[in-house]
Amino acid sequence: MITPATVTMLADDPVARWLFGSGGRAAQQSGSAIAPAVDSLFMVIFWISMFSFALLMGLVLYFVFRYRARPGVPGQRSVSHNTPLELVWSIAPLIVMTWMFFKGFWIFMDMQIAEAGAEPIAVVARQWTWTFTYPNGAISPEKTRIAGTDNPVFVIPADMPVKLTMSAENVIHSFWVPAFRGKRDIFPNRYTTYQFRANPLTEDDPWHEPVVGDETRTGPFHELGYRYRDHYVFCAEFCGDQHSEMAAIIRVVNPDVYAKVLERWATPDLTDPIITLNFIRNKYGCVSCHTIDGTASTGPTWKNLFGYEVLYADGQTRLVDADRIRIAVYDPAAEIRAGFPNQMNSYQGTMSQEHFEKFLWAIQQKEITDKGPKSILDDAGQNQPNDQPAGGGGDGGGDGGGE
Ligand code: HEC
Ligand SMILES: [Cu+2]
């Protein structure tokens, strides 16, 4: 769903204007040090191509007219060979194309090889979202709504080299920030790197007013006042159903703000259920399929899930209790919710027991379900004599799945 806010955001974004071409050349803003080089090489190659096209087509049309068949004029025999001419039309393009190759190759290498002292950030791409892990272990808990889905917001220091080391969880993705001009594929079985230096911030960039006393905590680092510039991140490799929604925001901020934000992100307040759920959603990518505000996505919303009776694809209605949640996370194929696709991967071996317990705790608090807190968990064990005790729950689910 595209909301008016999204439209305004798209219309205001120089990258989007550049992408969708309504702003002309002035809108082709670049966000990184390398972008102008990419743009000018692109334009040079474009005009060389235009020139070659015009020359070739011009000659073709000229010869078609000049040597057309006319009554009474015998056809001319083709010239079979002209060494000087052939040398010229082989060597001249060779020189131009060799130049193009090296020029492109050097820019490619500049994007590939990090400057000394570059800020190392680990990127994980998964269906269908991104996780950045910063050098201090921080993970962004911030998100913003773009076209109906929650997307993560990452901070990047302005005018500092940044090196991304990227891997994918199970299919190929491609990291693409149009404003930075580079694009790099991300694979499940190896690391690829991408480096850039975001342009310094200027007076023209927006200023984020600090928001005081806002309890909704949805805006990025709302209580800080700081200058910033946002860029879109897209996935440029078709990677499944929601490939087109695999977006994120890279927010360029000054290094001092960057440091502050990282410090805060490294210590999310996991005594707050909403912060905890957002932390889990971003760390493990649940955010691409689950909302916490009641809207349906690829998977059921986590709002008012725990403690409710829900229908499963096998026709059974079950109470969503601790065992249901455990099966959902560690063996999702075993019990599929009616009306939802079997698209969730198991987090067995990916999500630690500690984080699972945090998730389980958070999802049953009254901030997220009006059947919370706690009492349901206590009751559930007694009401369901067939359930395995917590330790055996995973095994039971596995047997039941039978696949
Ligand atoms: C690729 C999309 C996707 C991702 C990523 C994903 N899920 Fe799901 N999830 C689903 C779908 C689809 C369902 C409904 C089908 C089913 O029950 O397996 C579901 C169901 C659930 C349920 C409800 C099960 C029930 O019995 O009501 C929970 C809880 C859940 N997921 C938790 C998580 C958690 C926690 C994560 C991240 C660690 C996560 N999911 C990541 C797609 C996803
Ligand atoms: Cu992708």
CA of 283 to the centre of ligand 2 (A): 16
Hey, what are 111's tokens? 């994007």
Last residue in a domain, options 200, 232, 266: 266
Ligand 1 atom with least separation from CA of 324 = 26
Among 14-28, 47-61, 127-141, the range with the most confident prediction by mean pLDDT is: 47-61
313 part of a folded domain: yes
5 part of a folded domain: no
Give the ligand at the shortest distance from the Cα of 175. 2
23 part of a folded domain: no
Q: Closest Cα to residue 252, out of 31, 68, 22, 19? A: 31
The pLDDT value given to residue 14: 59
Do the beta carbons of residue 347 and residue 284 sit within 8 Å? yes
Ligand 1 pocket test, candidate residues 127, 289, 325, most atoms within 8 A of CB? 289
Domain that holds residue 139: 119-210+223-266
285 part of a folded domain: yes
Percent of the chain with pLDDT over 90: 36
* Residue 243 DSSP symbol: G
Give the ligand at the shortest distance from the Cα of 288. 1
Greater model confidence, 329 or 391: 329
Ligand 1 atom with least separation from CA of 287 = 5
How far apart CA 262 and CA 166 sit, in angstroms, is: 19
pLDDT grade for 30, boundaries at 50, 70 and 90: confident
Ligand 1 atom with least separation from CA of 127 = 1
pLDDT grade for 159, boundaries at 50, 70 and 90: very high
Q: Do 195 and 127 share a domain, yes or no?
A: yes
Give the ligand at the shortest distance from the Cα of 336. 1
CA of 74 to the centre of ligand 2 (A): 63
CA of 124 to the centre of ligand 2 (A): 11
Q: Do 304 and 377 share a domain, yes or no?
A: yes
CA of 340 to the centre of ligand 2 (A): 21
The pLDDT value given to residue 42: 81
| Burial classification of residue 216, based on how many CB atoms lie within 10 Å of its CB (0-12 exposed, 13-18 middle, 19 or more buried) | exposed
Q: State yes or no: pLDDT of 391 exceeds 80.
A: no
Greater model confidence, 302 or 73: 302
Q: Do 248 and 301 share a domain, yes or no?
A: no
Greater model confidence, 13 or 364: 364
pLDDT grade for 8, boundaries at 50, 70 and 90: very low
Ligand 1 atom with least separation from CA of 328 = 24
* Residue 292: strand pairing partners: none
- H or E element that contains 273: helix 273-284
The pLDDT value given to residue 71: 87
User: Residues 121-136, buried b or exposed e (16+ Cβ, 10 A)?
Assistant: bbbbbbbbbbbbbbee
Hey, what are 204's tokens? 């023209």
Q: What share of the chain is helix, strand, coil (3-state, %, to 5)?
A: 40, 20, 40
Q: Closest Cα to residue 155, out of 235, 248, 245, 247? A: 248
DSSP string, 37-78: HHHHHHHHHHHHHHHHHHHHHHHHHHHHHHT---TT-PPPPP
Do the beta carbons of residue 325 and residue 395 sit within 8 Å? no
Greater model confidence, 265 or 184: 184
- Is the sign of the CA dihedral 11, 17, 21, 27 positive or negative? positive
73 part of a folded domain: no
Give the ligand at the shortest distance from the Cα of 324. 1
Ligand 1 atom with least separation from CA of 347 = 38
**Mean pLDDT along residues 262-273:** 82
The pLDDT value given to residue 157: 95
Give the ligand at the shortest distance from the Cα of 285. 1
Among 17-31, 319-333, 368-382, the range with the most confident prediction by mean pLDDT is: 319-333
Greater model confidence, 104 or 75: 104
Greater model confidence, 305 or 18: 305
Q: Do 284 and 369 share a domain, yes or no?
A: yes
Q: State yes or no: pLDDT of 27 exceeds 50.
A: no
| Burial classification of residue 330, based on how many CB atoms lie within 10 Å of its CB (0-12 exposed, 13-18 middle, 19 or more buried) | buried
Q: Do 101 and 123 share a domain, yes or no?
A: no
Q: What is the pLDDT of residues 33-46, one digit of tens each?
A: 888 788 788 878 88
The pLDDT value given to residue 217: 53
How far apart CA 58 and CA 97 sit, in angstroms, is: 22
Do the beta carbons of residue 264 and residue 221 sit within 8 Å? yes
Residue labelled with tokens 């096998």: 314
Q: Do 127 and 102 share a domain, yes or no?
A: no
By alpha-carbon position, which residue is closest to atom 16 of ligand 1?
A: 336
Q: What is the pLDDT of residues 215-230, one digit of tens each?
A: 555 555 777 888 999 8
CA of 128 to the centre of ligand 2 (A): 6
Ligand 1 atom with least separation from CA of 281 = 37
Three-class DSSP category at 312: strand
Q: Are strands 226-235 and 173-176 parallel, antiparallel or unpaired?
A: antiparallel
Q: Closest Cα to residue 286, out of 301, 273, 271? A: 301
Q: Do 237 and 283 share a domain, yes or no?
A: no
Q: Do 240 and 309 share a domain, yes or no?
A: no
Q: Do 106 and 141 share a domain, yes or no?
A: no
**Mean pLDDT along residues 2-7:** 42
By alpha-carbon position, which residue is closest to atom 43 of ligand 1?
A: 344
The pLDDT value given to residue 372: 64
Q: At what angle do helices 353-363 and 273-284 cross, to 10 degrees?
A: 130
Q: What is the pLDDT of residues 162-175, one digit of tens each?
A: 999 999 988 999 99
The pLDDT value given to residue 175: 94
Q: State yes or no: pLDDT of 295 exceeds 90.
A: no
The pLDDT value given to residue 376: 44
CA of 152 to the centre of ligand 2 (A): 14
Q: Closest Cα to residue 158, out of 274, 273, 32? A: 32
Q: Do 124 and 261 share a domain, yes or no?
A: yes
The pLDDT value given to residue 167: 94
16 part of a folded domain: no
Q: Do 246 and 362 share a domain, yes or no?
A: no
The pLDDT value given to residue 384: 42
Q: At what angle do helices 322-330 and 390-401 cross, to 10 degrees?
A: 50
Distances, alpha carbon 179 to alpha carbons 12, 36, 185, 344, 360, in Å: 14, 10, 17, 32, 39
CA of 236 to the centre of ligand 1 (A): 25
Q: Rounded mean pLDDT of the chain? A: 81
CA of 179 to the centre of ligand 2 (A): 18
Q: State yes or no: pLDDT of 49 exceeds 60.
A: yes
**CB under 6 Å to ligand 1: residues?**
127, 284-286, 288-290, 298-300, 305, 310, 320, 324-325, 328-329, 332, 335-337, 340-344, 347, 351, 359
Domain with 238 in it: what CATH number?
Answer: 2.60.40.420
218 part of a folded domain: no
Q: What is the pTM of this model?
A: 0.64
CA of 130 to the centre of ligand 2 (A): 9
CA of 18 to the centre of ligand 2 (A): 22
Domain count of the chain?
A: 3
20 part of a folded domain: no
Q: What is the pLDDT of residues 77-128, one digit of tens each?
A: 877 888 999 999 999 999 999 999 999 999 888 888 888 889 999 999 988 8
Q: Closest Cα to residue 229, out of 201, 265, 196, 269? A: 201
By alpha-carbon position, which residue is closest to atom 12 of ligand 1?
A: 299
Q: Do 241 and 378 share a domain, yes or no?
A: no
pLDDT grade for 186, boundaries at 50, 70 and 90: very high
User: For the chain, how far is it from start to end, CA to CA, in angstroms?
Assistant: 36
Ligand 1 atom with least separation from CA of 332 = 18
The pLDDT value given to residue 386: 39
Domain with 284 in it: what CATH number?
Answer: 1.10.760.10
